[in-house]
């Protein structure tokens, strides 16, 4: 986590005793004490640590478009990013406020209205017909965000509530996120999807409205821990971002979200993205990676041949999983190297497409879902071909 965020938090708490004795403090209204005000009220009443840039955007998604509101610190650095997926109210006050608050701690935040027709709340038949359209919009938004010149494409997370929480889970399952925060999903009653997401850490804000009780949330956390999954279940007094008065636990929820995003998205670069330190010199070239990892004679080809039929026995499944993980990791190496020719933004988009396809294969292997494995193996070469057409 960057020092600026830690200094902001430390500075806030260091200022509390003095401010409490000064009723005219900038951070504290005259009638209140900083020691009794909620954490976030004090935090966001303080002078801004850095100027935020806020703009409206329009993202093309196949035959439709997605409206969004982008907030980010005014800096030339590549920053981690968070896609914000609200419920049916779209770009209403809660999602705009969430974008500003996430941007205020050093992230690029994009809140989108992916469902202006309220298709998610329509009949089951209409949802079946239009679900692909919503998926196309959400995928286009996360790809667009990762491709911006001020975003580090290896550090993209998501925050979603109500219907948006379900889309965060789908993005995590596709391997498109470093981490996700979800609220409103039926975590305690429909656990299958959550337990299938093995590599992308999730913070699940569970409430009674989403079918949880404190006891059920603790039991689910025990199941997750026993399975070795990186997820955290946090029971809250009410659903996150409900449009009514603040609950006593809201401050701690936001602190939990900040810490989670800092650990799993912002700090992910050093541990997980494969980005090179300034003193390191690349050893493998793009051509080396393509021949050894991504050619028909390399790892991808060997994996395709070994998965022409279901693996027999645990050692074969373990070998297939390891090879798929290395295949996905090659995407991170390609992001770090950059294109041999052509625009950098287009290179990132194509590499992220390849990495997402490889991670989809990895998740299917982990689930022992052979039909999904075959689908993923058919998609993977298509991402390679489109990249070769642009950059080879």
Residues 294 and 242 in one domain: no
Which segment of 180-189, 278-287, 343-352 scores lowest on mean pLDDT?
A: 278-287
How many independent structural domains does the chain possess? 2
Cα dihedral 114→116→118→120 (10° resolution): -10
Residues 192 and 249 in one domain: yes
CB atoms closer than 10 angstroms to residue 259: 14
Containing structural domain, residue 315: 281-391
CB 239 within 8 A of CB 217: no
Residues 336 and 196 in one domain: no
CATH number of the domain encompassing residue 157:
3.40.50.1820
Cα dihedral 241→232→237→84 (10° resolution): 0
Radius of gyration of the chain (CA): 22
Q: Which of 219, 237, 271 is the last residue of a domain?
A: 271
Residues 65 and 139 in one domain: yes
Residues 106 and 238 in one domain: yes
Which residue in this structure is represented by tokens 């993923």?
A: 376
Q: What is the mean pLDDT of the chain?
A: 76
- Domain-embedded: residue 147: yes
Residues 211 and 178 in one domain: yes
Buried b (16+ CB within 10 A) or exposed e, 3-19: eebeebbeebeebbeeb
Residue 175 has pLDDT above 50, yes or no: yes
Predicted model pTM: 0.61
**Rounded to a whole number, what is the distance in angstroms from the first to the last CA of the chain?**
37
Residue 203 has pLDDT above 90, yes or no: yes
Q: Which of 249, 271, 293 is the last residue of a domain?
A: 271
CB atoms closer than 10 angstroms to residue 245: 7
**32 or 136, which is more confident?**
136
Q: What confidence score (pLDDT) does residue 386 get?
A: 55
Residues 246 and 292 in one domain: no
In the β-sheet with 232-235, what is the strand arrangement from edge to edge? Answer: 52-61, 64-73, 108-113, 79-85, 151-161, 180-183, 202-206, 232-235
Q: What confidence score (pLDDT) does residue 113 get?
A: 92
Residues 386 and 261 in one domain: no
- Residue range 7-17: average pLDDT? 38
**161 or 282, which is more confident?**
161
- Domain-embedded: residue 253: yes
98: left (phi over 0), alpha (psi -120 to 50) or beta: alpha
**Token representation of residue 378:** 């058919």
- Domain-embedded: residue 238: yes
Q: What confidence score (pLDDT) does residue 85 get?
A: 93
- Domain-embedded: residue 365: yes
Residues 263 and 291 in one domain: no
Q: Which of 271, 291, 318 is the last residue of a domain?
A: 271
Residues 133 and 211 in one domain: yes
- Domain-embedded: residue 41: no
pLDDT per residue as tens digits for the range 39-95: 444 444 544 445 889 999 999 988 888 999 999 998 888 899 999 999 878 888 888
Residues 211 and 87 in one domain: yes
CATH number of the domain encompassing residue 305:
1.20.120.10
Cα dihedral sign for 91, 92, 93, 95?
negative
**276 or 118, which is more confident?**
118
Among 173, 119, 117, residue whose Cα is nearest residue 367: 173
- Domain-embedded: residue 19: no
CB 165 within 8 A of CB 86: no
- Domain-embedded: residue 120: yes
- Domain-embedded: residue 370: yes
β-pair type (151-161, 180-183):
parallel
Residues 213 and 310 in one domain: no
CB 73 within 8 A of CB 51: yes
Q: What confidence score (pLDDT) does residue 33 get?
A: 41
Quote helix, strand, coil % in the chain, to nearest 5: 50, 15, 35
Q: What confidence score (pLDDT) does residue 71 get?
A: 95
User: Percent of the chain at pLDDT above 90?
Assistant: 23
pLDDT per residue as tens digits for the range 99-130: 998 998 889 999 999 888 776 655 454 445 55
What angle is formed at CA 311 by the lines to CA 307 and CA 312, rounded to 5 degrees? 155
Q: What confidence score (pLDDT) does residue 276 get?
A: 39
């Amino acid at each position: 986590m960057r020092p600026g965020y830690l200094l902001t938090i430390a500075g806030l708490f260091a200022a509390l005793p003095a401010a409490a004795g000064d009723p005219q403090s900038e951070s504290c209204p005259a009638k209140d004490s900083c020691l009794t005000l909620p954490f976030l009220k004090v935090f966001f009443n303080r002078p801004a640590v850095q100027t935020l840039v806020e703009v409206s955007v329009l993202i093309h998604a196949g035959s439709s478009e997605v409206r969004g509101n982008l907030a980010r610190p005014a800096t030339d650095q590549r920053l981690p990013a968070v896609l914000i997926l609200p419920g049916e109210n779209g770009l209403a006050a809660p999602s705009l406020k969430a974008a500003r608050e996430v941007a205020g701690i050093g992230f690029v935040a994009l809140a989108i209205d992916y469902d202006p027709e309220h298709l998610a709340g329509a009949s089951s038949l209409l949802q079946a017909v239009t679900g692909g359209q919503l998926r196309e919009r959400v995928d286009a938004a996360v790809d667009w965000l990762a491709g911006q010149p001020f975003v580090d494409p290896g550090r993209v997370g998501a925050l979603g509530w109500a219907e948006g929480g379900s889309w965060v889970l789908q993005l995590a399952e596709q391997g498109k996120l470093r981490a996700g925060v979800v609220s409103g999903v039926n975590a305690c009653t429909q656990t299958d999807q959550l337990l299938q997401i093995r590599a992308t850490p999730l913070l699940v804000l569970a409430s009674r409205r989403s079918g949880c009780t404190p006891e059920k949330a603790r039991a689910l956390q025990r199941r997750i821990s026993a399975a070795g999954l990186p997820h955290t279940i946090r029971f809250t007094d009410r659903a996150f971002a409900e449009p009514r008065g603040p609950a006593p636990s809201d401050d701690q929820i936001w602190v939990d979200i900040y810490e989670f995003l800092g650990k799993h998205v912002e700090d992910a670069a050093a541990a997980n993205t494969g980005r090179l330190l300034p003193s390191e010199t690349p050893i493998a070239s793009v051509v080396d990676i393509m021949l050894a990892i991504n050619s028909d004679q390399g790892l991808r080809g060997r994996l395709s041949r070994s998965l022409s039929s279901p693996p027999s026995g645990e050692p074969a499944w373990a070998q297939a999983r390891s090879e798929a993980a290395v295949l996905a990791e090659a995407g991170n190496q390609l992001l770090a190297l950059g294109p041999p020719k052509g625009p950098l933004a287009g290179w990132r988009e194509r590499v992220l497409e390849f990495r997402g396809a490889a991670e989809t294969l990895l998740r299917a292997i982990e689930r022992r879902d052979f039909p999904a494995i075959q689908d993923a193996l058919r998609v993977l070469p298509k991402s390679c071909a489109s990249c070769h057409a642009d950059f080879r």
